[in-house]
Structure 1
Amino acid sequence: MDALAHLIDLISRHAPIDGIHSTPVAGVSLVRSAAPTMPMPVVYEPTLCLIAQGRKQVVAGTASYVYDAATYLVASVDIPVMGSVIEASATTPYLCLVLDLDMAVLSELAMRHPASLEQPAQPGASIELNTTTAELLDAAVRLARLLDTPADIEALAPLTIREILYRLLTASGHGALRQMAKADSRLNQIAKAIAWLRAHYHEPCRIDAIADIAGMSRSTFHAHFKAVTSMSPLAFRSQLRLQEARRLMVAEALDAAGAGFRVGYESPSQFSRDYVRMFGLPPVKDAGRLRT
């Protein structure tokens, strides 16, 4: 059995039904879908998504990313996206291994193994695609195989995860990930602003105040923020607000006006317009469809 077939077998056995499955390995989850899915909003935290079977599309702002078993996705900062499985069936379901990135370990590895070429000072996009190498796939298989031998997880999982992070850090094309591992990088400054926005998305805010958090001038902050997230700071905040409003209507049965007010909208009509622009349906119709 080759490495990819082995990974497919492991994920299939440990994620036997559709959904996101946590595992005994800290920071590792498995995803399965036996059919294509509608675009759904989610906030990616620093993450590796390694597909074993199927295909997925992720849209962040104006940027779109399509990846499969030949390529993997890395998100280096918290970012709201719309994600959809676009290739899956009952006989060949979408299967994916997701690993939360440990930034402390990445920072240590970045210091121990500096880049062979000088990295650009300007931050790149927070989502990057790269070719799945045999070495990365082999490490992912060994990590997933630990699910068959739970007694080995405590001793071996940290070593295997460290190897995976090393593979990501030393792969070409991951300038953003290496920048994120540096405390004084522009990307880390933007990450501070993103963290503030995630915690205070429901509050009024001035761009100048958020730029101060990042330690940049207004114009520099706006340019770097858009380079990282493919959206403006206000569009980023709107996505966070609308995702939470959708959750409130579906999970807590709030009406549209109440959900909009809870997430920071003062105008119900503006909330409805933004909601339709993002989700394609008015709030009440969309929430009703999701509930059923």
Structure 2
Amino acid sequence: MQQHYVAYNNGSSPIGTLANTIETIAQSDGDYATAIPGLSLHRRRTPTEPVHCIYTMGLGVVAQGGKQVMLGDALLEYGRGDCMLTTIDLPVISHITQARIKDPFLGLMLTMDVRTIVQAASEMDLPPLQRNSTSQPITVAALDDLMIDALTRLVRLTSEPLLAPKLAPLIKEEIIVRLLAGPLGSQLRNFLITESPSHQITKAIAWLKQHFAQTLQVEELAAYVHMSQSTFRQHFRAITGTSPLQFQKQLRLQEARQLMLNQNVDAGTASSFVGYESPSQFNREYRRLFGAPPRKDVKQLRQAGVMR
């Protein structure tokens, strides 16, 4: 499919100002961790290949360019001036679709703390939510100018190390308050209601992340979150786009990939650590998910300069 690019006069709009601010810091391709906890900046001059990764609770923002994220069978696209809110940890396939040398992809990711969200929501006069409703774990929406301004101020703080420790938490709280009061507020709050299906599935996912190497008994996990098996499976698939067993498999393979990439662990050791008893099954499922056997895949990642 042919891509169409638009050249932007970045300084003429709030989103252009945010893009310029990011580009001042991210002057070449890469992923930039900042001194502000939870904030990272991203730049690419060319579209990227689809990559399997885990999205955590946070806000992704595109200041320039475009991106696609696949969750199960759902394909989400977002571009300049859009944000993507993720409310639970999910394995996804992500790639940048619009980027070029003159107009590189520019974006940021801000992870969020559940306790801060709960505290902010408790202090706001927000409308009640339906306790039996199920929210989508990933949603794309357009940013308004006030939110873009808050994000720009947060990025600018990276160049003020003396002020950042005091001011960054205040701006991050402002961003959370604006999210709660805006069109994405109900989605964010739904995962905090103890009795909601969304919160119960979030609890199940947290358990899976802690115990991914253990043999999974779906009936026991359903009981752990006080759901029947059928209801648990239904809500789990509705929220994550996959079954509990497939979700666990992706967690295992992602963890094994990171072990091999970051700690130079061989495939046999990695497969055993994440819970596989059969190396051949591990190799087969790894190749099916990532498109290449473990050794070749890790070699390709290193050659491509993937951030570790």
- Report the TM-score, using the length of structure 2 for normalisation: 0.87
Partner of 1:25, secondary structure, is coil
2: CA distance between counterparts of 1:130 and 1:117?
22
Deviation string 1:115-174 (CA, Å, 9 cap, x unpaired) is: 436446222221111111112111111222222333332332222211111121122244
Q: Is the 8 A contact 2:60 2:84 kept in 1?
A: yes
In terms of mean alpha carbon deviation, does 217-226 or 142-151 score higher?
A: 142-151
CA distance in 2, matches of 1:258, 1:229: 29
How has the CA–CA distance of structure 1 residues 276 and 127 changed in structure 2, closer, same or farther, with 3 Å as cutoff? same
In structure 2, the partner of 1:136 is 147
Report how far residue 255 of structure 1 moved.
Answer: 4.0
1:194 & 1:270 partners in 2: Cα distance? Answer: 24
Once the 2 structures are TM-superposed, how far is the Cα of residue 65 of structure 1 from its aligned partner? 1.5
Contact map agreement 1:47 1:74 (CA 8 A) in 2: yes
1:77-107 Cα distance to aligned partner (Å, 9 max, x none): 1112222111112222211121111222211
CA distance in 2, matches of 1:291, 1:109: 41
Structure 1 counterpart of 2:85, one-letter code:
V
Counterpart for residue 198 of structure 2: 187
2:236 is equivalent to residue 225 of structure 1: yes
How far 1:290 moved relative to its partner? 2.4
What amino acid is the match of 1:111? S
Question: Letter of the aligned partner of 1:51 in structure 2?
Answer: V
Q: 2:81 pairs with 56, 65, 70, which one?
A: 70
Give yes or no for the alignment of 1:159 onto 2:161.
no
Tell me, in whole angstroms, the C-alpha distance in 1 between the residues paired with 2:298 and 2:44.
Answer: 22
Alpha-carbon distance in structure 2 between the residues aligned to 1:224 and 1:114: 29
Q: Tell me, what secondary structure is at the counterpart of 2:96?
A: strand
Of 85, 90, 98 in structure 2, the residue corresponding to residue 87 of structure 1 is: 98
> What are structure 2's unaligned runs of at least 5 residues?
1-10, 304-308
Does the C-alpha gap of structure 1 residues 285 and 10 become closer, same or farther in structure 2, counting only changes over 3 Å? same
What displacement does 1:17 show? 2.6
- SS at 2:88's partner residue? coil
Say whether the 8 Å CA contact 2:15–2:81 is kept in structure 1.
no
Q: Say if 2:114 is the partner of 1:103.
A: yes
**One-letter code aligned to 2:92:** V
Contact 1:107 1:182 in 2 (8 A): no
Name the SS for the 2:204 alignment partner: helix
Q: Any unmatched runs of 5+ in structure 1?
A: none
Structure 1 residues 279 and 77, CA, compared in 2 at 3 Å: closer, same or farther? Answer: same
1:114 Cα deviation from its structure 2 partner = 4.5
Which sits farther off after the overlay, 35-44 or 245-254? 245-254
- How far apart are the structure 2 equivalents of 1:239 and 1:147? 34
* Equivalent in the alignment of 2:180: 169
The match for 1:113 among 120, 124, 131 is 124
Verify the 8 A CA contact 1:119 1:175 in the aligned structure 2.
Answer: no
The Cα RMSD (Å) is: 2.0
- In the alignment, is the contact (CA less than 8 A) between 2:131 and 2:193 conserved in 1? no
2:257 alignment counterpart: 246
Per mean C-alpha deviation after superposition, the further-off stretch among 143-152 and 162-171 is 143-152
How far residue 179 of structure 1 moved from its aligned partner, in angstroms, is 1.2
Identify the residue that residue 297 of structure 2 maps to in structure 1. Answer: 286
The aligned counterpart of 1:24 is 35
Alpha-carbon deviation of 1:262? 2.5
Q: Deviations over 1:208-259 (max 9, x none)?
A: 1111222211111111111111111111111111112222333344443443
Contact 1:41 1:83 in 2 (8 A): yes
Match of 1:151, SS state, is: coil
Question: Equivalent of 1:3, from 8, 14, 32?
Answer: 14
Aligned length: 292
User: Secondary structure of 2:135's partner?
Assistant: coil
Q: 1:263 aligns with which of 247, 271, 274?
A: 274
Identity of aligned residues (%): 38
The answer on 1:13 being equivalent to 2:29 is no
After TM superposition, the structure 1 stretch with the greater mean CA deviation from structure 2, 222-231 or 181-190, is 181-190
